[in-house]
Amino acid sequence: MNYKLKTRSEWVDEYHQGVRYGLQGKLILEESSPFQKITIYDSKRYGKALLLDDCWMTAEKSEKCYHECLIHPALCCSTQIDNILIIGGGDGGSARECLRYKEVKSIDLVEIDLRVIELSQKYLPTIGGNAWSDSRLNLQIKNGIDWVKHRKENSYDVIIIDGADPIGPSKELFSNSFLKDCRRILKHGGVLATQSESPESFQQIHINIVKTLREIFDYADPMYGSVSIYPSGLWSWTFASMEKPKYMHPRKSRIEEISENCQIWSERWQQGAFNAIPAFIERELAKT
Ligand code: SPD
């Protein structure tokens, strides 16, 4: 038996600029949808995981450190949270976190790739949890760019962009025209939240996302945390609003509603995470 080969075949790695980020485990499934390569992997440390185009997206036992951070600063702080739009988020984790708030009346979840939803429901059912059967969830298998283009002004209280990296089908989710449409369809006291890559391994992309959002929305700030399965482990989410930095001040009633069952998010954590901006990023963002 070729021992070395056997050992290697038990690992799956995401490669990025001369570094690889890997998990040990067992391959369950690999297929190509019309949009991307989809892999389901059973990792020893984090349980079942989803990769899109060979990049880690989520894993059963580490997803909360991504989804809680993307959702709660927006939903705890927005003036109203009746109508939510999620672009992407086909694993269901973002919808699940939004649906924890009783005030939420409806969520349009617009995912381009039906297979991501089907495979997440089958292999990673804990991530979507009860969201899939919640009558407030309205699934749309459509292109998110077209969806926002065709919505009326002031349609949503909160917009969540839960896409993959800005290559492949998610590239346009970081474009000026898409984000301008998001501003148009967001209500005035609302908040937009997007994953905004790593300030370490995707430094320039991260800076560009924050700058673009500041131009379009007036107010935008990045928040930093750790997602151990993503390149470098250091990750960011950026929040934007129109009248003031709305996303900085969680409302008491909403904190009380969710905090007991959060693994990472708390009011205190959020404050620290906004303040954890690396000095060089702050300097870069200050340049015009
Ligand atoms: N480098 C991975 C970035 C992926 C962000 N989205 C993950 C989707 C989880 N719902």
Domain residue extents for the chain: 4-59, 64-286
Question: 222-245 pLDDT, tens per residue?
Answer: 999 999 999 999 999 999 999 899
**pLDDT above 70 coverage of the chain, percent:** 97
Mean pLDDT of 63-72: 98
Candidates 197, 196, 178; CA nearest to 186 is 178
pLDDT at residue number 9: 63
Q: Let me know if 162 is a catalytic residue.
A: yes
Distance of CA 156 to the CA centre of its chain: 18
For residues 191 and 241, the answer to whether their CB atoms sit within 8 Å is yes
Q: How far apart are CA 150 and CA 83, in angstroms?
A: 16
Question: Residues near 158 by Cβ (< 8 Å), separated by ≥ 6?
Answer: 74, 75, 78, 81, 83, 84, 85, 98, 186, 190, 191, 192, 193
| DSSP E strands, 92-155 | 106-111, 137-141
CA nearest ligand 1 atom 7, residue: 57
Ligand 1 centroid, distance to 235 Cα (angstroms): 10
Q: Among the options 162, 165, 181, 221, which is catalytic?
A: 162
Mean pLDDT of 254-264: 97
pTM: 0.95
pLDDT at residue number 169: 75
Candidates 3, 106, 23, 63; CA nearest to 265 is 63
Residue 8: pLDDT over 70: no
Ligand 1 centroid, distance to 100 Cα (angstroms): 21
Q: 4-59: which CATH architecture?
A: Roll (2.30)
pLDDT at residue number 214: 97
Residue 1: pLDDT over 50: no
Mean pLDDT of 172-198: 97
Q: 74-88, 157-171, 179-193: lowest mean pLDDT where?
A: 157-171
Would you place residue 102 in the very low, low, confident or very high pLDDT band (cuts 50, 70, 90)?
Answer: very high
Class of domain 64-286: alpha beta
Residue 215: pLDDT over 90: yes
Would you place residue 2 in the very low, low, confident or very high pLDDT band (cuts 50, 70, 90)?
Answer: very low
Which of the pair, 166 or 162, is modelled with greater confidence? 162
Q: What is the DSSP letter of 152?
A: P
**pLDDT above 90 coverage of the chain, percent:** 93
Question: Residues near 245 by Cβ (< 8 Å), separated by ≥ 6?
Answer: 219, 221, 239
Which residues lie with the beta carbon below 6 Å from any ligand 1 atom?
55, 57-58, 66, 89, 91, 93-94, 162, 164-165, 195, 230
Question: 15-53 pLDDT, tens per residue?
Answer: 999 999 999 999 999 999 999 999 999 999 999 999 999
Q: What is the DSSP letter of 63?
A: T
Distance of CA 124 to the CA centre of its chain: 16
CA nearest ligand 1 atom 10, residue: 89
Read out DSSP for 202-252?
THHHHHHHHHHHHHHHSEEEEEEEE-TTSTTSEEEEEEEESSS-GGG---H
* Tokens standing for residue 143: 């292109």
